[in-house]
């Protein structure tokens, strides 16, 4: 079980809650379970969500494991120059 | 990922040295080939007809007269680029931006294009195209556009991110919010509060090379595109989707690039050139003029930002809040969102809240510009931080050091930081001789901090070892800032050979697996990770070949300093085999020796910088002169320090132009008034002092060498550092960028008039 924090706009489509307890071993499973629970999140996942695990931001490595007790924060996937 | 990306703390032989740049001679002698330097037999000249109106319905386009003109081989409109985006809203916007479909949404929006046998005929043909417009009311100012009475740019857009879905459409496409704690409680604890509003005007990336390409579509559905871009694989994806081509049949080759800075991260003219070529049956070269570059490509957001920061008497910030409105051009974007995330990222804050509003205006589609959106937010926040330090009676650097984020701090955008460099950059600035240098009359000193995320992404690299032992390295990230030299150093480091034996090229899209574009300061970070991985894969093969040559088990072979060594006393008589020795025998030990790598380079470390600036202001004219400028920035590990310094200096130079002169000026008719370098003034060498740099190296734990991206952060602090310097010089807080002479004089006059 990991605790996941969603940024403001995303929490609006996740029942208005910023913090969620989810049983997920990696980013892929986290996204799948969030989408199952809150279908409104799916378009956001398609558009791109970055996952900060203990402060390190992962954008594409969906196989990245979510260590128990890690701080997990979902962020918008951003553009760079 | 097939290798361990964690920082290892190794000693370096090649990395950190400063060899002469491999592309330098070609560039200074004119041999280097940029976008417009490529030609194909029988190629036509492409030209684009653009809307003179800021906002207008396209009622009818009659191309018949142009088509009949001798020498014209193709004329296209939006009908020749049918919508194949299949519900992908972002791609639809790119398509509509390449060629207006129903409405012209800004002055310069493409409405038709021609391909002719020469430029004169192409220009003449444009004059023969008859477009019937219904001119609509327009809005170009970000604050006016956000008002509910403003002309509506897209009646299908309802503001996202509000608690309740709005009943009416709006130019405000999205609201986003970040932060933690309770800002009301935080402000209640404050002894001092600074609250101000700031504006920044729209600027262009100002790349010297205009957008340019040569497109050739063949009857069998294959196509070639030679183009100046930051990401040829991304351009291939975009063009293939928009033209209905199979990606594998569209070969895209990137030219040398005369600057991009985010402005060449998505397609503009390329689908138009391909559509012209498809219709004409001949190659088409399309090169934008400077006027077109300004009117129809690039620019960053114009912004309007409100900031409120409170602190207790001991200098601790108790609360911070910002509302940020960013213009997006006529298409939805996420520019204010990035500003809202980066605004307070430098600080350790218990109570922080930022709200971003994305605003549509009748200006060109906003594009990324080097740490997009962060410089404007930093300008507003760092100006207020400076003012608050002054009110507290604290030194501006000490105040920032007291409140700086550190490892374990919850970032204002959400997560908790790992090891970061904001504290060390501030300490370096505090002790820098620049801070103690005397100032003369009418001179002021300012400093400011900046933050940028940095990204990684999909990356693919091939490393091939020739039979003579030389190494060719094929990478897929376009070299915008010296990555071919840096990546050659990395390959040399891993293989244990001299840099001079490695030659890096940027491979075309048919020769290498997919690569994300060079953005987000990712070029050297990502491709160095893939190069390390590819080199290590090659070393496995080299060891295997050495084992064959010695006829010993491969497990008994180690690789050290460019040589295979048989380990153990029983092999005492075996001399080490060099890479060159092994390569020479490759034909009989299993064939070519190569290392490949395909990976997602995630875990790019965030980056911080602190800048110092001295400015002299002429109080009679408002003219400014940059007297001295110093950049201090964390690079993680500087692979090629000269290039890193170049990135620091380049970012500072662009920031200086943005802070002091550059701005898009629109007339009441919604037309751009200064679409050229005479009237849109970027700094030239004579405007700038030597920009001093200091590289800090706080290793990124997620890269084998500790590398962080360095390309973008350097443009984040200058707007604020210069505004603080000007404000200190004239004694008036400057709140509007650029601080051009008329704007400084107006601020001085307003102060005198009370």
Question: What is the pLDDT at residue B275?
Answer: 98
Q: How far apart are the first and last CA of chain A?
A: 37
Q: How far apart are CA B724 and CA B720, in angstroms?
A: 6
Strands B44-50 vs B607-617: parallel, antiparallel or unpaired: unpaired
Between chain A and chain B, the number of residue pairs with CB atoms below 8 A apart is: 109
pLDDT band at A13 (very low <50, low <70, confident <90, very high): confident
**Tokens of residue B682, six digits:** 């970027």
User: Å from A3 to nearest chain B CA?
Assistant: 13
Range of the domain at B582: 24-32+456-601
pLDDT tens track for B11-27? 999 999 999 988 999 99
* CB-nearest partner of A80 from B414, B417, B520: B520
- Taking an 8 Å cut-off on Cβ atoms, the answer to whether B178 and A8 are in contact is yes
* CB-nearest partner of B414 from A7, A12, A58: A7
Residues of A engaging B, defined by a Cβ cutoff of 8 Å:
5, 7-9, 12, 47, 52, 54-61, 64, 71, 73, 75-76, 78-81
- Taking an 8 Å cut-off on Cβ atoms, the answer to whether B174 and A75 are in contact is no
Same domain, B233 and B316: yes
Q: How far apart are CA B81 and CA B244, in angstroms?
A: 9
Q: Angle formed by the axes of helices B232-243 and B89-98, to 10°? A: 90
* Sole residue written with tokens 């505090």: B430
- Taking an 8 Å cut-off on Cβ atoms, the answer to whether A75 and B413 are in contact is yes
Question: What is the pLDDT at residue B22?
Answer: 87
- Taking an 8 Å cut-off on Cβ atoms, the answer to whether B413 and A59 are in contact is no
Query: Among the three residues B385, B414, B443, which one is the final residue of a domain in this structure?
Result: B414
Instruction: Supply φ then ψ for residue B207, to 5 degrees.
Output: -60, 140
ipTM attached to this prediction: 0.92
User: Å from B261 to nearest chain A CA?
Assistant: 5
- Taking an 8 Å cut-off on Cβ atoms, the answer to whether A52 and B414 are in contact is yes
Question: What is the pLDDT at residue B598?
Answer: 96
Query: Among the three residues B585, B601, B617, which one is the final residue of a domain in this structure?
Result: B601
B-interface mutation test, from A12, A57, A72, A81, most B Cβ less than 10 A away: A81
Q: Are B518 and B230 spatial neighbours (Cβ–Cβ below 8 Å)?
A: yes
How many domains is chain B built from?
A: 2
pLDDT tens track for B237-250? 999 999 999 999 99
Q: Are B631 and B487 spatial neighbours (Cβ–Cβ below 8 Å)?
A: no
3-state secondary structure of B22: coil
* Residue in chain A lying closest to B369 (CA): A81
pTM for the predicted model, two decimal places: 0.96
- Res. B1: pLDDT tops 60: no
Mean predicted confidence (pLDDT) in B704-733 = 97
SS3 letters for B79-128?
A: HHCCCCCCCCHHHHHHHHHHCCCCEECCCCCEEEEEEECCHHHHHHHHHH
Q: How far apart are CA A55 and CA A58, in angstroms?
A: 10
* Residue in chain B lying closest to A16 (CA): B163
On average, the pLDDT of chain B sits at 97
- Taking an 8 Å cut-off on Cβ atoms, the answer to whether A81 and B338 are in contact is no
pLDDT band at A16 (very low <50, low <70, confident <90, very high): confident
Burial of B86 (0-12, 13-18, 19+ CB in 10 A): exposed
Residue B296 lies in a domain: yes
* Sole residue written with tokens 């380049």: B650
- Taking an 8 Å cut-off on Cβ atoms, the answer to whether A60 and B600 are in contact is yes
- Taking an 8 Å cut-off on Cβ atoms, the answer to whether A60 and B456 are in contact is yes
Query: Among the three residues B601, B632, B651, which one is the final residue of a domain in this structure?
Result: B601
- Taking an 8 Å cut-off on Cβ atoms, the answer to whether A81 and B265 are in contact is yes
- Taking an 8 Å cut-off on Cβ atoms, the answer to whether B334 and A58 are in contact is no
Same domain, B395 and B538: no
Written out in words, the top-level CATH class of the domain with range A2-76 is: alpha beta
Element (H, E) at B397: helix B396-403
* Residue in chain A lying closest to B176 (CA): A9
3-state secondary structure of B172: strand
* CB-nearest partner of A80 from B337, B521, B701: B521
Residue B180: which residues within 8 A CB-CB, separation 6 or more?
Answer: B351, B352, B410, B412, B414
Question: What is the pLDDT at residue B572?
Answer: 85
Number of Cβ within 10 Å of residue B725's Cβ equals: 33
User: Å from A45 to nearest chain B CA?
Assistant: 14
* Sole residue written with tokens 């003179």: B52
* CB-nearest partner of B262 from A52, A57, A81: A81
A-interface mutation test, from B91, B266, B602, most A Cβ less than 10 A away: B602
* Residue in chain A lying closest to B455 (CA): A80
* CB-nearest partner of B414 from A47, A60, A73: A73
* CB-nearest partner of B416 from A55, A58, A64: A55
* Residue in chain B lying closest to A72 (CA): B415
Helices (H) and strands (E) in chain B, counts: 20, 27
Same domain, B258 and B314: yes
3-state secondary structure of B357: strand
* Sole residue written with tokens 């791109």: A48
Question: What is the pLDDT at residue B562?
Answer: 97
Same domain, B400 and B543: no
pLDDT tens track for B311-336? 999 999 999 999 999 999 999 999 99
- Taking an 8 Å cut-off on Cβ atoms, the answer to whether B176 and A8 are in contact is yes
DSSP state of B136: -
pLDDT tens track for B399-408? 999 999 999 9
Residue B308 lies in a domain: yes
Of B444, B352, B453, nearest to B403 by C-alpha is: B352
Residue B255 lies in a domain: yes
- Taking an 8 Å cut-off on Cβ atoms, the answer to whether A57 and B712 are in contact is no
Q: How far apart are CA B228 and CA B559, in angstroms?
A: 40
Same domain, B391 and B466: no
- Taking an 8 Å cut-off on Cβ atoms, the answer to whether A75 and B456 are in contact is no
* CB-nearest partner of A9 from B176, B416, B458: B176
- Taking an 8 Å cut-off on Cβ atoms, the answer to whether A80 and B371 are in contact is yes
* Residue in chain A lying closest to B416 (CA): A55
pLDDT band at B2 (very low <50, low <70, confident <90, very high): low
CATH at B333: 3.30.365.10
Which residues from A are below 8 Å from B177, CB to CB? 8-9
**Tokens of residue B379, six digits:** 């300008």
Number of Cβ within 10 Å of residue B91's Cβ equals: 19
- Taking an 8 Å cut-off on Cβ atoms, the answer to whether A58 and B369 are in contact is no
User: Å from A16 to nearest chain B CA?
Assistant: 9
- Taking an 8 Å cut-off on Cβ atoms, the answer to whether B368 and A55 are in contact is no
- How large a percentage of chain B has pLDDT more than 90? 96
Which residues from B are below 8 Å from A56, CB to CB? 418, 602-603, 605, 701-702
Which residues from A are below 8 Å from B337, CB to CB? 76, 78
pLDDT tens track for B114-124? 999 999 999 99
Same domain, B303 and B182: yes
- Res. B432: pLDDT tops 60: yes
* Sole residue written with tokens 């203990």: A54
Question: What is the pLDDT at residue B515?
Answer: 97
DSSP state of B408: T
3-state secondary structure of B717: coil
Residue B694 lies in a domain: no
Q: How far is CA B395 from the centre of its chain?
A: 33
Number of Cβ within 10 Å of residue B741's Cβ equals: 17
Of B318, B321, B317, B319, nearest to B306 by C-alpha is: B321
* Sole residue written with tokens 């080490």: B576
* Residue in chain A lying closest to B356 (CA): A9
Same domain, B354 and B479: no
pLDDT tens track for B98-135? 999 999 999 999 999 999 999 999 999 999 999 999 99
- Taking an 8 Å cut-off on Cβ atoms, the answer to whether A56 and B712 are in contact is no
Q: How far apart are CA B440 and CA B443, in angstroms?
A: 6
A46-78 as b/e: b if 16+ CB within 10 A? eeebbbbbebbbbbbbbebebeeebbbbbbbbb
Number of Cβ within 10 Å of residue B418's Cβ equals: 17
Q: How far apart are CA A27 and CA A77, in angstroms?
A: 14
3-state secondary structure of B31: coil
CA distances to A50, A54, B8, B414 from A25, in Å:
16, 15, 27, 22
pLDDT tens track for B595-652? 999 999 998 889 999 999 999 999 999 999 999 999 999 999 999 999 999 999 999 9
- Taking an 8 Å cut-off on Cβ atoms, the answer to whether A79 and B175 are in contact is no
More confident residue, A61 or B501: B501
């Amino acid at each position: 079980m990991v605790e996941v924090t969603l940024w403001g706009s995303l929490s609006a489509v996740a029942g208005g809650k910023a913090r969620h307890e989810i049983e997920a071993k990696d980013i892929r499973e986290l996204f799948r379970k969030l989408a199952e629970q809150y279908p409104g999140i799916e378009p956001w996942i398609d558009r791109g969500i970055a996952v900060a695990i203990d402060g390190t931001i992962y954008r594409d490595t969906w196989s990245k494991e979510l260590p128990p007790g890690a701080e997990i924060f979902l962020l918008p996937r951003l553009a760079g120059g | 990922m097939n290798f361990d990306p964690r920082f290892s703390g190794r000693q370096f032989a090649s990395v950190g040295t400063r060899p002469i740049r491999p592309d330098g001679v070609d560039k200074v002698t004119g041999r280097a080939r940029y976008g417009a330097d490529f030609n194909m037999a029988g190629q036509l000249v492409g030209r684009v007809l653009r809307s003179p109106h800021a906002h207008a319905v396209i009622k009818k386009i009659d191309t018949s007269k142009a088509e009949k003109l001798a020498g014209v081989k193709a004329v296209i409109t939006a009908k020749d680029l049918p919508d194949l985006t299949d519900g992908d809203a972002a791609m639809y916007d790119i398509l509509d931006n390449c060629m207006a479909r129903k409405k012209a949404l800004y002055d310069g929006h493409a409405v038709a294009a021609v391909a002719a046998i020469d430029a004169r005929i192409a220009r003449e043909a444009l004059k023969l195209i008859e477009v019937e417009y219904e001119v609509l009311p327009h809005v170009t100012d970000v604050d006016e556009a956000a008002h509910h009475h403003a002309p509506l740019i897209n009646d299908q857009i309802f503001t996202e991110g509000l608690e309740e879905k709005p009943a009416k459409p709006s130019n405000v496409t999205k609201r986003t919010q970040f932060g933690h704690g309770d800002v009301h409680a935080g402000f209640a604890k404050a002894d001092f509060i600074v609250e101000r509003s700031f504006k920044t005007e729209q600027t262009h990336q100002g790349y010297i090379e205009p957008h340019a390409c040569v497109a050739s579509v063949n009857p069998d559905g294959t196509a070639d595109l030679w183009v100046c871009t930051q990401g040829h694989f991304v351009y291939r994806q975009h063009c293939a989707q928009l033209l209905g081509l199979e990606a594998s049949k569209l070969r895209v080759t990137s030219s040398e690039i005369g600057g991009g800075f985010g402005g060449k991260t998505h397609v503009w003219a390329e689908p138009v050139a391909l559509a012209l070529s498809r219709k004409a049956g001949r190659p088409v070269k399309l090169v934008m003029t400077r006027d077109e570059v300004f009117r129809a490509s690039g620019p960053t957001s114009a912004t309007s930002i409100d900031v409120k920061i409170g602190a207790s008497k001991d200098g601790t910030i108790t609360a911070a809040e910002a509302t940020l409105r960013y213009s997006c051009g006529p298409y939805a974007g996420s520019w204010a969102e990035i500003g809202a995330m980066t605004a307070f990222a430098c600080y350790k804050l218990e109570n922080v809240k930022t709200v971003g509003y994305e605003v549509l205006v009748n200006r060109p589609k906003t594009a990324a510009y080097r740490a997009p959106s962060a410089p404007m937010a930093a300008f507003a926040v760092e100006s207020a931080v400076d003012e608050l330090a002054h009110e507290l009676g604290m030194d501006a650097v000490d105040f920032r050091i007291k409140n700086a984020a550190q490892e374990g701090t919850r970032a204002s955008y959400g997560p908790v930081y790992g090891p970061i460099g904001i504290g060390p950059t501030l300490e370096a600035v505090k002790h820098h001789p620049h801070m103690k240098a005397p100032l003369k009359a009418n001179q002021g000193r300012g400093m400011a901090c900046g933050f940028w995320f940095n990204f990684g992404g999909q990356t693919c690299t091939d490393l091939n070892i020739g039979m003579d032992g030389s190494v060719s390295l094929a990478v897929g990230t376009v070299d915008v800032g010296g990555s071919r030299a840096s990546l050659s150093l990395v390959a040399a480091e891993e293989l244990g050979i001299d840099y001079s034996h490695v030659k890096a090229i940027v491979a075309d899209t048919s020769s290498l697996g997919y690569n994300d574009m060079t953005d987000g300061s990712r070029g050297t970070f990502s491709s160095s990770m893939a190069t390390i991985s590819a080199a290590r894969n090659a070393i496995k093969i080299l060891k295997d070949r050495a084992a064959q040559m010695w006829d010993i088990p491969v497990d008994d072979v180690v690789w050290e300093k460019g040589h295979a060594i048989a380990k153990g006393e029983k092999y005492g008589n075996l001399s080490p085999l060099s890479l060159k020795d092994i390569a020479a025998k490759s034909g009989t030990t299993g064939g070519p020796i190569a290392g490949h790598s395909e990976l997602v380079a995630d875990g790019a470390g965030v980056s911080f910088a602190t800048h110092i600036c001295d400015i002299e202001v002429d109080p009679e004219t408002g003219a400014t002169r940059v007297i001295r400028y110093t950049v201090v920035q964390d690079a993680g590990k500087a692979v090629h320090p000269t290039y890193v310094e170049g990135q620091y200096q380049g970012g500072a130079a662009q920031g200086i132009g943005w802070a002091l002169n550059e701005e898009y000026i629109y007339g009441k008719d919604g037309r751009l008034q200064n679409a050229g370098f005479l009237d849109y003034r970027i700094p030239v060498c004579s405007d700038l002092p030597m920009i001093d740099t200091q590289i800090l190296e706080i290793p990124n734990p997620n890269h084998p060498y500790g590398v962080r991206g360095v390309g973008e952060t350097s443009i984040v602090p200058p707007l604020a550092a210069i505004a603080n310097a000007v404000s200190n010089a004239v004694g008036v807080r400057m709140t509007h960028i650029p601080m051009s002479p008329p704007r400084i004089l107006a601020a001085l006059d307003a102060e005198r008039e009370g």
